[in-house]
Amino acid sequence: MTLEVKICGLKTIEALDAALEAGADLVGLVFFPKSPRNVSLDEAVVLAERARGRARVVALVVDADDAAIASIAARVRPDLFQLHGHESPERSAAIRAATGVPVMKALAVAEPEDLEVVASFVPHVDRILFDAKPPRRPDALPGGNGFSFDWRLIRDLDPGRPVMLSGGLTPETVAEALAITGVSSVDVSSGVESAPGVKDPERIRAFIAHAREADRLRERTRGSRP
């Protein structure tokens, strides 16, 4: 099992380069005006072209309309759409069909009942991302809040699609998260920032290094079992 690491919410060349040089597998660009990590289409084009061929480009959208999706698909040419709003299974399927771009649906988790919707998405998406349920505040963002959930809820979960873990991950917690969940993909945004929307290159490097080391330890542990 090869671990995939995604650094999300990148806005600057400096932060992007830090992620690429540290070996990020996926880099996320946020298209959501309420987010401190939001980028314009023009900014995204520059970042995506710099990353292309070195990491997969993920376009994160929140209940985006058809016009926005089409513009992002045409200009940014992402490798994956991350749907981080209230998109239904049908809407997820429609975006995938219209753009020809694979789709990852983010699902908010706080308790076991939140996993009951997983099966309805599986036929219509290429990946599932589990994130912490946002706080109940009018100004709360759908993601990037720095909150985690009980990782035991998805321990060794196999819904039939690749699973990615997000929510509250940091360089200090990623090893524990990997050990508990058994996931093969992790996603971080606020956990590698010095302020909301401001990526810290040192924390990006530390996160990726700690994640890789935890994965190597996990593989050695598996290999030593009788």
Higher per-residue confidence, 147 vs 219: 219
Phi, psi of 142 (to 5 degrees): -70, -15
pTM score? 0.92
Long-range contact set of residues 34-43: C-beta below 8 Å, sequence gap at least 24: 34/141, 35/9, 35/141, 35/144, 35/197, 36/196, 36/197, 37/8, 37/9, 37/10, 37/11, 37/144, 37/189, 37/196, 37/197, 39/11, 41/71, 41/72, 41/75, 41/76, 43/11
Q: Is 156 a catalytic site residue?
A: no
**What per-residue confidence (pLDDT) applies to 218?**
86
Condensed to tens digits (0 to 9), the pLDDT of residues 88-142 reads 999 999 999 999 999 999 999 999 999 999 999 999 999 999 999 875 655 555 6
CA-only gyration radius of the chain, Å: 16
| Domain span including residue 142 | 4-224
Q: Is the pLDDT of residue 8 over 90?
A: yes
Q: Pick the catalytic residue: 8, 63, 114, 139? A: 8
Condensed to tens digits (0 to 9), the pLDDT of residues 25-84 reads 999 999 999 999 999 999 999 999 999 999 999 999 999 999 999 999 999 999 999 999
The structural domain count of the chain equals 1
Q: Pick the catalytic residue: 17, 79, 131, 158? A: 131
Q: Is 8 a catalytic site residue?
A: yes
Of 82, 89, 159, 164, whose CA–CA distance to 124 is shortest?
89
End-to-end CA distance of the chain: 18
Give the CATH number for residue 11.
Answer: 3.20.20.70
The secondary structure element, H or E, covering residue 49 is: helix 41-51
**What per-residue confidence (pLDDT) applies to 2?**
85
Helix 41-51 vs helix 66-75: crossing angle, to nearest 10: 40
